[in-house]
Amino acid sequence: MNKTILIPAFILMVVLQLYIPVRMISYKESILTGGKEFKFRTAPIDPTDPFRGKYITLSFEANSFHVANAEEWNQGDPIFVMLGEDEKGFVKINSISKDQPVDDENYVKASIDYIVTDTMSYVTVEYPFTRFYMEESKAQGAQDVYRETARDTNQVAYALVSIKEGDAVIKDVMIDDVPISEVVKQLQEKPQ
């Protein structure tokens, strides 16, 4: 092949390799800046992903919804979760649907984790935002703070999640309305 074909092909390849991650980042950024924020109360689990780094795995109090007929739902199926806020400003599930809502902006795409059929049937929701990645230097401190918060009923931990058109991004994890990174920073600055 001659250079007149190789150089433009190389330039095109470089542009495409840059376009895809930039597009993904800008889409998530548009959710963060233009989405509605919801506060999801959390409970901790703290693993490490060797390929992606340190993170806090989040589970949420608002993760189940009573259904009249459990047989209509299947584990793993995609669902749309319509959200509202309780009297304290934390998220609550208003309803779930197999169909994307047309007139409700406050919904998130999720899937069915499992279905319980007991005296009351309910669907447990698996949200697509369960990992909050941390800077390596703060990750261990964040794990410790988060575990302590789970034990202390006087403290409130929640994920601040921005939602737009069904897609969601975790903005921050908060402990008593303070970002967890700030709590860790304050603890690291304290004399031992």
What is the pLDDT at residue 163? 93
151 or 123: which carries more pLDDT confidence? 123
Mean pLDDT for the stretch of residues 176-180: 89
How far apart CA 12 and CA 135 sit, in angstroms, is 34
pLDDT for residue 20 is more than 80: yes
**Residue 48: pLDDT band with limits 50, 70, 90:** low
Mean pLDDT for the stretch of residues 93-107: 89
113 or 188: which carries more pLDDT confidence? 113
**Residue 42: pLDDT band with limits 50, 70, 90:** confident
Q: pLDDT > 70: what percent of the chain?
A: 92
